[in-house]
Amino acid sequence: MRQIENFIAGEFVGAASGRRFDKRSPLDNRVIASISEAGMPEVDAAVAAARAALRGEWGALTTEQRVDLLYGVADGITRRFEDFVAAEMADTGQPSHVMRHVFIPRGAANFKVFADVIKNVPTEAFQMDTPDGRGALNYAIRQPKGVIGVISPWNAPFLLMTWKVGPALACGNTVVVKPSEESPHTAALLGEVMNAVGIPKGVYNVVHGFGPDSAGEYLTRHAGVDAITFTGETRTGAAIMKAASDGMRDVSFELGGKNAGIVFADADFDAAVEGIFRSAFLNTGQVCLGTERVYVERPIFDRFVAALKARAEAVKFGRPEDHDANYGPLISQEHRQKVLSYYARAVEEGATVVTGGGVPDMPGELAEGAWVQPTIWTGLPETAAVVREEIFGPCCHIRPFDTEDEVVNLANDTDYGLSTTIWTTNLTRAHRMAARVEVGITWINSWFLRDLRTPFGGSKQSGIGREGGVHSLEFYTETRNVCIKL
């Protein structure tokens, strides 16, 4: 069993209180790690170390020097690729191919992408007239915002943590990271890489723990934290926003979603089935961009439901390293209880269970894991809880529609506005629909296809701000104006 400590000023340190908590495997519920729970002294020390690095060695580096170091971090992750894959699989239980081809490579890429962005981003300059005719010159400069509190989720731990740490460091900030208590491994492992490539001590810090009355609350309320970035559920975001209002500190939130998938009768049928399958069930449905509401044009509705049912029933449960396994467990027993409560509620509200709705039979010790079946429902009204509330599990409700106006209204009838995926071969309709659906990200005939330079974020209760490319710089830097009288 691994012992995981907090990472502060380049050192792995335990908590002064001696408090620790267990990390259990989602595969079989056995304890796989003991984690030091940071208290206020550790958060204080981490913030102080970040502040010292900001004013010291890190703050004295040129942009080119920072860029070189961040490229070194990306290369260091690649050198220890197998360690990161193993760590992420241990925390999440998800299949090896997802880690190898998506989550870990993207985590490494985040450092190179944002290093390139900061190296090449321009700023504004304006000449202006003055009464004396001599004029003045205004130009903008970008400065780091300061110490950034990074609170990252458990569903894609490394990718989503580095999605924030990468641009924060590229812009010259320092960070204190609070990873989810369910996924501590890769945040700790990244500390080893930071030391190995020569990132100055205090630039990257990690405090472990929970939210209320633990490391999360201590970090978000800390006066020494200049801005907070968070990915997670909407209710937690609201609590963090209240904490950040003390001191008028900036926040960047990527929050919940109840995303719609829309399939028109003219779509490439097989591609649409596969696309909706991925968007509903990838990572066992634990994806903020996932599709939990599916609307299918009536002429192909029955055929589509049958095809998606067959696809869902073909998944193979198993350990991440199993060659044939392509479907993992939920993150924890607690989360499984939440998902199963929605499964039961759907039946209570009158859903037709097309497939799933329960727990699969797993052999041996795997029977103790957080497994659930991929589940499809039909027949519910839009007012049903499983249609309106984010479940964050491998499930979707499918409803037929008849007109474009009808499906736009259905898709927009939600408190959330993160993403949608639309399947049609009519290019004019695709553009028209993309402009009408109230979300931050619209995919046409695809899903989860991301160019890291593009704006990422949600509307309504799905978030505040945008991440990606130059859009991240709006949060991680302060833009200042210099006016020179000529």
Cα(75)–Cα(67) distance, rounded to whole angstroms?
A: 12
One domain, residues 240 and 170: yes
In a domain, 320, yes or no: yes
Query: Dmax over Cα atoms in the chain, in whole Å?
Result: 86
Residue 99 confidence (pLDDT): 94
In a domain, 37, yes or no: yes
Q: Record the tokens describing residue 127, joined without a space.
A: 């000449």
Q: Record the tokens describing residue 17, joined without a space.
A: 């209180």
One domain, residues 28 and 115: yes
For the beta carbon of residue 300, count every other beta carbon within 10 angstroms.
18
Cα(81)–Cα(259) distance, rounded to whole angstroms?
A: 32
Q: Of residues 42, 88, 217, 254, which has the active-site annotation?
A: 254
Q: Of residues 37, 181, 217, 288, which has the active-site annotation?
A: 288
- Nearest of 462, 352, 435 to residue 398 by alpha carbon: 352
CB distance 177 to 187 below 8 Å: yes
Question: What is the three-class DSSP state of 258?
Answer: coil
CB distance 310 to 353 below 8 Å: no
Is 288 part of the annotated catalytic residue set? yes
In a domain, 456, yes or no: no
One domain, residues 222 and 294: no
Q: Record the tokens describing residue 123, joined without a space.
A: 């700023």
CB distance 240 to 48 below 8 Å: no
Is 292 part of the annotated catalytic residue set? no
One-letter amino acid for residue 68 of the chain: D
One domain, residues 162 and 275: no
One domain, residues 141 and 203: yes
CB distance 470 to 264 below 8 Å: no
One domain, residues 355 and 424: yes
What domain range includes position 7? 2-255+462-485
In a domain, 457, yes or no: no
One domain, residues 279 and 232: no
Question: What is the three-class DSSP state of 406?
Answer: helix
One domain, residues 165 and 310: no
In a domain, 35, yes or no: yes
Question: What is the three-class DSSP state of 38?
Answer: coil
| Element spanning 161, H or E | helix 157-170
Q: Record the tokens describing residue 40, joined without a space.
A: 């206020």
One domain, residues 179 and 323: no
Q: Is 455 exposed, middle or buried (0-12, 13-18, 19+ CB in 10 A)?
A: middle
One domain, residues 272 and 182: no
CATH of residue 113's domain is 3.40.605.10
Main-chain dihedrals φ then ψ at residue 441, nearest 5 degrees: -135, 125
Does the predicted model carry a pTM greater than 0.85? yes
Count each helix (H run) and each strand (E run) in the chain, helices first. Answer: 17, 23
Main-chain dihedrals φ then ψ at residue 323, nearest 5 degrees: -60, -40
Q: Record the tokens describing residue 419, joined without a space.
A: 């993403």
Q: Record the tokens describing residue 192, joined without a space.
A: 């080893």
Cα(431)–Cα(425) distance, rounded to whole angstroms?
A: 11
CB distance 417 to 312 below 8 Å: no
Under DSSP, the state recorded for 456 is: B
CATH of residue 353's domain is 3.40.309.10
Cα(202)–Cα(209) distance, rounded to whole angstroms?
A: 19
One domain, residues 396 and 339: yes
CB distance 422 to 442 below 8 Å: yes
CB distance 273 to 319 below 8 Å: no
In a domain, 282, yes or no: yes
CB distance 381 to 352 below 8 Å: no
According to DSSP, the residues that pair with 24 across neighbouring strands are 31
One domain, residues 113 and 174: yes
CB distance 374 to 327 below 8 Å: yes
Please count the structural domains in the chain. Answer: 2
- Nearest of 223, 267, 213, 283 to residue 249 by alpha carbon: 223
In a domain, 268, yes or no: yes
* pLDDT tens per residue across all 486 residues of the chain: 899 999 999 999 999 999 999 999 999 999 999 999 999 999 999 999 999 999 999 999 999 999 999 999 999 999 999 999 999 999 999 999 999 999 999 999 999 999 999 999 999 999 999 999 999 999 999 999 999 999 999 999 999 999 999 999 999 999 999 999 999 999 999 999 999 999 999 999 999 999 999 999 999 999 999 999 999 999 999 999 999 999 999 999 999 999 999 999 999 999 999 999 999 999 999 999 999 999 999 999 999 999 999 999 999 999 999 988 999 999 999 999 999 999 999 999 999 999 999 999 999 999 999 999 999 999 999 999 999 999 999 999 999 999 999 999 999 999 999 999 999 999 999 999 999 999 999 999 999 999 999 999 999 999 999 999 999 999 999 999 999 999
Separation of first and last alpha carbons in the chain: 67
